[in-house]
């Protein structure tokens, strides 16, 4: 008998019902089929698929589904007597995914999901239902693809008081920004390229607007700080306004631009922000390329842990799904967000207020006294200028780059509002936090 079998004497098969046979669902089917012996050895029991569901039964997915029962309705799949674990890989914050998960939980069945949007909006209610029914919800695949960040927080770092989490959590945005940097291409061209390659969600704003990454950040915040999931409390800013000029200017200053998520508990409440920032080019985050994700966790005992890996794709995400399945097969039980749902507190949302230097790009009307008005707006709000330069210039417009000394974002926003009332600012300024990591 293996060690796994000794710790888990239940050798009856763990039966999976998989709803959603897209890239990730097919990846899960492949792992279960190809790694059957390995899974049984590691968990102490066979792991099998008994039934599946998807929008189209006849679609060629490159893998045989002949041995599995088919259900057109994912809710019917969740209710099947021969399904022990409902694996939800359809996506969507409401609709069939939510209905099917609720059906599975109502019957006391465990759930494995990659659906970060669903959990960001309904995680608390689903966690309470699961715990009332003695079921578990596992969602490693919902955050950072193949990186085991959920397991790290709930298990490996359980003895730490987490002080801060930051990271790059959307591979599509990181691809766009690094492609702009490496190829010298404008945002619009790289966006179209990413769309043609199939990297973007059906609603691209979920990616480039920071929403997808914000969902992930809200889940990490709940686990890290013992709070109810509060996606509405995440400050969101996407990458749509990042220009190739910003990329070049940041590089000259020794930085790269990343869509960076940061969450920390402060005396004012829970700060959660997802926004483009400048990070040192030679830092681990600055060196991150393409679709790779990185999550940095800081704890009082461990200090800093850096997790890096593929943030999406068939293999990495299916790997995360199967990690959760294997834990269930072993008999490992854990509250959805690392502690009982009834003990999670409703944190007060706090706007990020820690001082930092800022990169500020302006396009001014080329007229006498324009720059003096900008300097006055900054000075009136207690903001001093570290560096300033004027870039390409014509007879009508004067692009200006300013790097401030450390200031609070609220003060900078007041200064920007004052600038825009002067009549010398030709377009909305771009302000990016410079994050020291």
Which amino acids are annotated catalytic? 216
What does the alpha-carbon distance between residue 17 and residue 230 come to, in Å, rounded to a whole number? 30
What does the alpha-carbon distance between residue 39 and residue 379 come to, in Å, rounded to a whole number? 63
Q: Dihedral sign, CA of 31, 37, 43, 45?
A: positive
88, 100 contact by CB (below 8 A) = yes
Neighbours of 183 (CB within 10 A): 12
What does the alpha-carbon distance between residue 296 and residue 166 come to, in Å, rounded to a whole number? 5
What does the alpha-carbon distance between residue 188 and residue 162 come to, in Å, rounded to a whole number? 38
Q: Dihedral sign, CA of 304, 310, 313, 316?
A: negative
What does the alpha-carbon distance between residue 50 and residue 78 come to, in Å, rounded to a whole number? 11
**Structure tokens of 88?**
């939800």
């Amino acid at each position: 008998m293996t060690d796994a079998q000794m710790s888990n004497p239940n050798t009856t098969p763990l039966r999976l019902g998989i709803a959603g046979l897209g890239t990730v669902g097919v990846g899960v089917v492949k792992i279960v089929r190809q790694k059957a012996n390995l899974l049984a050895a590691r968990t102490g029991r066979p792991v099998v698929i008994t039934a599946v569901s998807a929008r189209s039964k006849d679609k060629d997915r490159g893998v045989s589904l002949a041995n599995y029962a088919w259900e057109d309705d994912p809710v019917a799949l969740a209710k099947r007597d021969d399904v022990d674990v409902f694996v939800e890989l359809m996506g969507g914050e409401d609709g069939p995914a939510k209905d099917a998960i609720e059906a599975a939980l109502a019957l006391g069945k465990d759930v494995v999901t990659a659906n970060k949007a669903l959990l960001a909006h309904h995680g608390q209610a689903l966690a309470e239902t699961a715990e009332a029914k003695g079921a578990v919800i596992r969602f490693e695949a919902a955050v950072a693809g193949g990186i085991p960040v959920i397991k790290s927080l709930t298990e490996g770092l359980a003895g730490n008081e987490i002080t801060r989490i930051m990271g790059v959590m959307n591979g599509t945005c990181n691809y766009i920004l690094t492609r702009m940097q490496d190829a010298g291409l404008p945002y619009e061209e790289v966006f179209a390229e990413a769309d043609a390659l199939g990297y973007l969600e059906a609603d691209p704003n979920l990616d480039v607007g920071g929403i997808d990454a914000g969902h992930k950040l809200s889940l990490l915040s709940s686990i890290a700080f013992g709070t109810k999931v509060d996606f509405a409390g995440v400050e969101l800013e996407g990458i749509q306004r990042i220009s190739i000029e910003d990329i070049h200017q940041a590089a000259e200053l020794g930085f790269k631009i990343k869509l960076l998520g940061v969450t920390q508990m402060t005396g004012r409440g829970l700060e959660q922000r997802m926004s483009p920032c400048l990070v040192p080019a030679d830092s681990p985050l600055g060196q991150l390329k393409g679709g790779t994700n990185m999550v940095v966790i800081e704890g009082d005992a461990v200090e800093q842990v850096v997790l890096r890996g593929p943030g999406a794709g068939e293999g990495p995400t299916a790997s995360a799904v199967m990690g959760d399945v294997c834990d269930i097969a072993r008999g490992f039980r854990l509250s959805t967000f690392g502690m009982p749902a009834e003990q999670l507190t409703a944190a007060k949302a706090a706007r990020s207020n820690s001082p930092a230097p800022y990169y500020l790009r302006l396009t001014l009307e080329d007229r006498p006294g324009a720059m003096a008005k900008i300097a006055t707006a900054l000075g009136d709000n207690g903001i001093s200028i570290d560096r300033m330069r004027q870039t390409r210039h014509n007879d009508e417009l004067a692009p200006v780059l300013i790097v401030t000394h450390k200031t609070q974002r609220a003060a900078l926003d007041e200064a920007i509002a004052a600038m825009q009332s002067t009549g010398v600012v030709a377009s909305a300024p771009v302000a990016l936090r410079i994050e020291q990591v």
